[in-house]
Amino acid sequence: MSVETLPFLMVGITFVILLLGYPVAFSLAGSAIIFGFYGLATGNFDTSFFSAFPERIFGIIGNQTLIAVPLFIFMGVVLERSKIAEGLLETMGKLFGRLRGGLAISVCLVGGILAASTGIVGATVVTMGLISLPVMIKHRYDPAFASGVITASGTLGQIIPPSIILVILGDVISSAYQQAQLSLGNYSPRAVSVGDLFLGALFPGILLVCIYIVYILIISWIKPNIAPSLGSDTSSEQKGTSTIEIFKVLLPPFILITLVLGSILAGIATPTEAAAVGSVGVILLAYQQKGLNRKVLHNSCKNVARINSMVFTILIGSSMFSLVFRGYGGDEVIASYLSNLPGGVISAFLLVMGIMFFLGFFLDFFEITFVVVPIVGPVLLTMGLDPVWLGVMIAVNLQTSFLTPPFGFALFYLRGVAPPSISTLQIYRGVIPFITIQIAVLVILWFYPGLVTWLPEQVYQ
């Protein structure tokens, strides 16, 4: 067996192990260790790559940006468990209830607000499914349409800042960009920060929400039975909704978003500092709305510890995997292959996006970010792609993958909380229009990259 085939054999065996249901982090690290020792036994692997592993771990521990991850997770979990999302949806429903599709628009807007407050996709989909799906079915919404709106709105947390996914992707893209610039002979490259990626993702995230709402308005006008207005069912409730009540419910989350996102975009605070402020803010917000007690706080902290352990265990396992992959020269083989594709950078970019889309059926965003992006990112960035634009395109691409039947993660999240009366086929059918919208946004960003790059350039100039 040639040495060149070993890294790709390692990838294939790891993929099979994952399909058998073994934990991702241990599958990555375990297969890498086995192939590493095989290489040592056959004289095809340098021990210095294993020696570099403790330095990798120390680098992860000392990474200031990654401290923001558990803090943003904490924000999301507290918002989920303190019933704040429920109050938001109820108020939005009263605001838009008389409009055809008004409840669906409310779900879309609340999904965007939760995304901007937390950035946790799974929690948002589950929360919106538990709160809004029974209400939409009660008011005679088509089950497929309701399912599509909830899953699409829930995945907005992947692209709307300050998403924890963008925090992690920004850190990985920054390292890949520095590596690409060093290979090109630029020994003082400009820094690419998480704030750059937040700014770059802002317009695409807002664009997605706007197109979702336009689609909801059009389809509910063409087919009123799919998304009827609440009409007289809630007329008394609507009359009882005062401006002060709406103001009390909507203002605190917007203040929280402004404090977190605004401080980052204005350069006042780093993502880590802003996440700390947001964590304190969400505690005060939950307490003010009487959704926080000792039990909620205790359960939230336990949930944060569990999610955070999962993320960083995957990061450690993927570090071992990437070290062994590089030790066998797999990154050089991929770089040579992508660089020599007919069509140049366009073909290379489309191939990488296609592979990531496929991997999104089986792997979570964290695994793809930690394993795939460090390998292909430097190659694409060496070919001249903008790092912020590439990061946003990867995020939207994977967001689309997580919506796509039959394996999309968001679909499984909703299936887990949907009533038995709603079939899996109805959930699949409901997301098709939103997948089309996602692909359309990807095409728009391809032809108009300024939608991503303009705001970071203006702010940081």
Mean pLDDT of the region 38-61? 84
CB atoms closer than 10 angstroms to residue 355: 13
* pLDDT of res. 434: 94
DSSP string of 440-458? HHHHHHHH-THHHHHHHHH
Is residue 172 within 8 A of residue 369, CB to CB? The reply is yes
- Whole-number Cα distances in Å, 137 to 99, 140, 145, 156, 224: 16, 5, 10, 22, 15
pLDDT band of 34, cuts 50, 70, 90: very high
The percent of residues in the chain predicted with pLDDT above 70, rounded, is 94
More confident residue, 221 or 331: 221
pLDDT digits (tens, 9 = 90+) for 369-410: 888 898 899 999 999 899 999 999 999 999 899 888 877 778
**What integer is the mean pLDDT of 100-121?**
78
Residues with Cβ within 8 Å of residue 353, at least 6 apart in sequence: 393, 394, 397
DSSP 21: T
14, 371 Cβ separation under 8 angstroms: no
Residue 3: how many other CB atoms lie within 10 Å: 13
In the chain, what are the domain boundaries? Answer: 66-460
What SS3 string covers 315-339? HHHHHHHHHHHHHCCHHHHHHHHHH
Stretch among 231-245, 291-305, 425-439 having the lowest mean pLDDT = 231-245
Share of the chain above pLDDT 90, in %: 22
Over residues 50-56, mean pLDDT: 85
The string of pLDDT tens digits covering residues 209-255 is 999 999 999 999 999 889 887 765 444 444 445 677 777 777 877 78
- Chain segment 139-193, per-residue pLDDT in tens: 889 999 999 999 998 888 788 887 788 888 988 999 899 988 888 888 777 778 8
Highest-scoring range by mean pLDDT, 9-18, 263-272, 282-291: 9-18
d(CA 16, CA 127): 32
Q: Which of 445, 365, 433 is nearest to 151 (CA)?
A: 433
pLDDT at site 439: 94
User: Cα–Cα–Cα angle for 203, 315, 116, nearest 5°?
Assistant: 25
Return d(Cα 392, Cα 388) in angstroms, integer. 6
**Mean pLDDT in residue range 318-340:** 86
Name which of 111, 122, 129 is nearest 422 in CA terms.
129
The DSSP-derived string for 187-228 is SSPPP--HHHHHHHHHHHHHHHHHHHHHHHHHHHHH-TTTS-
